[in-house]
C-alpha cells in the first residue's frame, strides 16, 4: 500500500457547534510524508495532528498551538481515518470544524467528491505490539495486538431509549460508511440548556444532533436502532487518528470518551507499545482490502 491524499481541494461552509457562527472548511491535498495539518487561515497558524497538540477533551477533541486552536475535530478525522488518508491540509477560518449534520457522512461525501489519490511513499501503520489500558473507576479503554482493525464499544445510560448498548465493528471503509458514518452526536435537553446558558452549544439543533428529554427523543427518528453506541465508535475512530497513522489492533471501551481516548494515545507512545510497519504485496492484502 502507498500513502494517500485527496485528488483535489474541496470545501464546505457550515455552523460551528458551540459558537453557532459560520465556518468555512477546505480540504487540500499534501505530498508524501506531510501528515495531517490543520491551518487556521484567520490566524496564519498551522497545527499538526499530534497527541501532544491536544489542548482540551471536555466537550470535544481540541488541538492547538501558540494559543490558537481548532475544536471538534473528531467527526472529520473519523472520516479521514476511514479512507486511509495520510496527508491532508485542513483549512478553517474559525476555531471549530463545522458540525454539519452531527455525524461523519458529510465529510465522507466531501472526500468522495475530492477523490482519493495514492502517492509514491509506502503507507505506514502503527501496529500495536502489547496491551495498553486506561481506567477511570468503571470506565475503561484498551487496545490490544491484532492482525486486523476492530472497535468494540459498550455504553450504559440511565435513559429508557438508550440503556446498555454494545457494538462490535470490524473496520473497513465500506463497513464504516454503512454502519458508522451516519451515526449522529447526541445530548440531553437539560444539558443543552445549561451549555447555552454559559455560551456553548449555540449552533446545536435538531438538525445536527439527537436531543433527548427524560422520556424519549425530540427528533423524528433514529438512523440506527443503536445509533448512540455507533456514534461513540465514530468518535473513537476520530480520536485514535491522533496516533498519526492508521493503527492495526483491537480497540475496546466501556463508557469511554474523548479524554480517555487521548490518554490512551499518549500511553501507546510512552510505553512504545507499537511498531511502525509497511507491507509487501504478500502481507498487505487483508489490510489493503479494508481500505478499498
114-155: pLDDT as tens digits: 999 999 999 999 999 999 999 999 999 999 999 999 999 999
Q: In the chain, which ranges are E strands?
A: 2-6, 10-15, 22-29, 36-40, 45-48, 54-56, 62-65, 68-70, 88-92, 116-122, 125-128, 132-136, 139-144, 149-157, 163-170, 186-188, 210-212, 247-254, 274-277
Are residues 1 and 287 in contact, defined by beta-carbon separation less than 8 angstroms? yes
Question: Which pLDDT band holds residue 14 (cuts at 50, 70, 90)?
Answer: very high
| % of the chain with per-residue pLDDT over 70 | 96
Helix (H, G, I), strand (E, B) or coil at 237: helix
pLDDT digits (tens, 9 = 90+) for 75-96: 999 999 999 999 999 999 999 9
Name the pLDDT band for 282 (thresholds 50, 70, 90).
Answer: very low
For residue 24, what are the CA distances in angstroms to 111, 199, 238?
16, 21, 20
3-state SS, residue 132: strand
- Is the Cβ–Cβ distance between 202 and 19 less than 8 Å? yes
Output the pTM of the full model.
0.94
Contact in structure between 74 and 238 (CB atoms under 8 Å): yes
Q: What's the rounded Cα separation, in Å, for the pair 143 and 57? A: 19
Q: What's the maximum distance between 2 C-alpha atoms anywhere in the chain?
A: 57
Q: Looking at the predicted structure, is the pLDDT value of residue 284 above 80?
A: no
Q: Which residues is 89 bridged to in the sheet?
A: 28, 37
Across residues 39-62, what is the average pLDDT? 96
The 10s digit of each residue's pLDDT in 169-192 is 999 999 999 999 999 999 888 777
Confidence of residue 288 (pLDDT cuts 50, 70, 90): confident
| CA–CA separation, 135 and 236 (whole Å) | 16
Q: C-alpha cell of 234?
A: 465514530
Exposure string (b/e) for 193-204, b if CB count within 10 Å is 16 or more? eebeeeebbebb
H or E element, residue 113: helix 105-114
Instruction: Tell me the pLDDT band of 208, cut-offs 50, 70 and 90.
Output: confident
Q: Are strands 88-92 and 36-40 parallel, antiparallel or unpaired?
A: parallel
* Cβ contacts of 166-173, under 8 Å, gap ≥ 24: 166/229, 167/226, 167/229, 167/230, 167/233, 169/230, 169/233, 171/82, 171/237, 171/290, 172/289, 172/290, 172/291, 172/292, 173/82, 173/83, 173/84, 173/290, 173/291, 173/292
Catalytic (active site) residue 258: yes
Q: Which domains does the chain have, with CATH numbers?
A: 2-123 (3.30.230.20), 126-277 (3.30.1700.10)
φ and ψ at residue 149, rounded to 5 degrees: -120, 120
For the cut 60, the answer to whether the pLDDT of residue 99 exceeds it is yes
Catalytic residue among 18, 231, 258, 262: 258
Q: Are 139 and 121 in contact (CB under 8 A)?
A: no
Amino acid at each position: 500500500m502507498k500513502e494517500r491524499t485527496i485528488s483535489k481541494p474541496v470545501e464546505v461552509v457550515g455552523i460551528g457547534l458551540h459558537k453557532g457562527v459560520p465556518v468555512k472548511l477546505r480540504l487540500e491535498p499534501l505530498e508524501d510524508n506531510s501528515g495531517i495539518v490543520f491551518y487556521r487561515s484567520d490566524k496564519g497558524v498551522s497545527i499538526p495532528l499530534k497527541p501532544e497538540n491536544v489542548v482540551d477533551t471536555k466537550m470535544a477533541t481540541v488541538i492547538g498551538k501558540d494559543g490558537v486552536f481548532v475544536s471538534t475535530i473528531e467527526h472529520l478525522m473519523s472520516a479521514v481515518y476511514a479512507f486511509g488518508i495520510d496527508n491532508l491540509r485542513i483549512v478553517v477560518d474559525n476555531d471549530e470544524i463545522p458540525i454539519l449534520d452531527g455525524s461523519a457522512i458529510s465529510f465522507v461525501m466531501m472526500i468522495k467528491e475530492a477523490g482519493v489519490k495514492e502517492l509514491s511513499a509506502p503507507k505506514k501503520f502503527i501496529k500495536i505490539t502489547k496491551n495498553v489500558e486506561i481506567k477511570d473507576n468503571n470506565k475503561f479503554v484498551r487496545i490490544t495486538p491484532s492482525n486486523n482493525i476492530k472497535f468494540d464499544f459498550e455504553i450504559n445510560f440511565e435513559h429508557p431509549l438508550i440503556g446498555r448498548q454494545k457494538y462490535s465493528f470490524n473496520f473497513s471503509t465500506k463497513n464504516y460508511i454503512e454502519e458508522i458514518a451516519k451515526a449522529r452526536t447526541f445530548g440531553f435537553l437539560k444539558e443543552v440548556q445549561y451549555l447555552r446558558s454559559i455560551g456553548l452549544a449555540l449552533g446545536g439543533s435538531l438538525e445536527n444532533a439527537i436531543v433527548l428529554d427524560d422520556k424519549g427523543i425530540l427528533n423524528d427518528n433514529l438512523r440506527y436502532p443503536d445509533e448512540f453506541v455507533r456514534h461513540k465508535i465514530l468518535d473513537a475512530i476520530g480520536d485514535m487518528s491522533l496516533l498519526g497513522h492508521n493503527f492495526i489492533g483491537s480497540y475496546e471501551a466501556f463508557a469511554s470518551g474523548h479524554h480517555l481516548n487521548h490518554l490512551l494515545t499518549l500511553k501507546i507512545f510512552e510505553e512504545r507499545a507499537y511498531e511502525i510497519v509497511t507491507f509487501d504485496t504478500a502481507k498487505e492484502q487483508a489490510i489493503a482490502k479494508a481500505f478499498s
